[in-house]
Structure 1
Amino acid sequence: MFLKLFRKPRASSGHSRKEPADYIAAYRATGDLAVLGELYEQHMDLVYAVCFNYLRDEDEAKDAVMNLFEQLVTDLRKHDVQQFGPWLHSVARNYCLMQLRKMQAHPKAALVTGTGADLDDEPIMQLSADDADKSELEEDLTTMEACLKTLPHEQQTCLTLFYLDHKTYTEVAELTGYDLKQVKSYLQNGRRNLKICMRK
């Protein structure tokens, strides 16, 4: 692993293992990457597990582990970290979520890939990281936009406000004059009709 570049040989001794706070204090005082590398190595299994859980790709998770170490080089100098384990878990999770958002950066991605918990959860079409920069994805999104225009006005309006404009159920109801039950019905039926149109 790349951290071996920064690791100092360990002397065999009876000294007890240092606490994370000791490593952090030493790193902040000296900027010694070997100190930071030794601390990070103790938590790498956790970081990898978190990253793999979110990214679902072994190579992506390994890259994330490396990138997170580079991030810690600056973050630990800026932040006063009291509980390193939970803090690192949070940093790793946020990093992975940011990567996932980059993979689905198209403004229509929410409509394509996800729904609310009480709506039809089957995606209209699959959007993978490999597809994100390909022309066929743009073609699919163009088709989806064309199909959206064929829906009844109520369904089209609710889908646009909820997924593309990121309005809540309540906000959609206030903007359209529909009650919440109608809004949820238009959203569910609209998504179903949109999928039917795109499969033709």
Structure 2
Amino acid sequence: MIQNIFKIKLLSDELLVRKFQETQNLDFLGQLYERYMHLVYGVCLKYLKNKEEAQDAVMGIFEKLNKEIPGKEINDFKPWLYVVAKNYCLMHLRKEQSTKKKSAEYEKTELFFMENEDDVHPTNNWEPDELDSRLKDCLEKLKDRQRSCIELFYFKELCYKEISEKLTLDIKKVKSYIQNGKRNLKNCMESKA
């Protein structure tokens, strides 16, 4: 076993690639990757600018190689690996930017403004004592999930994601409970006016 590992370490990059393609034996790929892991980590750190993300990317790239190498013609492994690592990081950054863009677009939507407009909050024109008793009564009349989401969003000032995690609900459900709860709360408060 030790002799086999020693023999594998002596093989050239090209031979390790070919042996892996022929046998799918991860020892060959592992040895090949071990030689250049520091290069891959450096590339990932350069592009991602975050140690943990770079470490995760190193593992992701190894998994990608396991799938891609068998079907590729690779003449010079090191430069090919550099390009694979760079492209992997760029795709990761694009995906991250896309997620941020979608989040920013959501914040511009009507629903976001609806959640934050003052006139949606029916409590703005009442005296504090009167407001407290009406609000408590109306909150008690809401369905449990609606009440929980409303309390966490408005009184505990948690964001949708935090509420979703705390109540183990899908984020869309949280938004729906808040929107419907707000409407029901407003109707209740107005009926007591």
Task: Give TM-score, length-normalised by structure 2.
Answer: 0.50
Q: Rg: which structure is higher?
A: 2
Task: Give TM-score, length-normalised by structure 1.
Answer: 0.48
- Larger helix proportion of the pair: 2
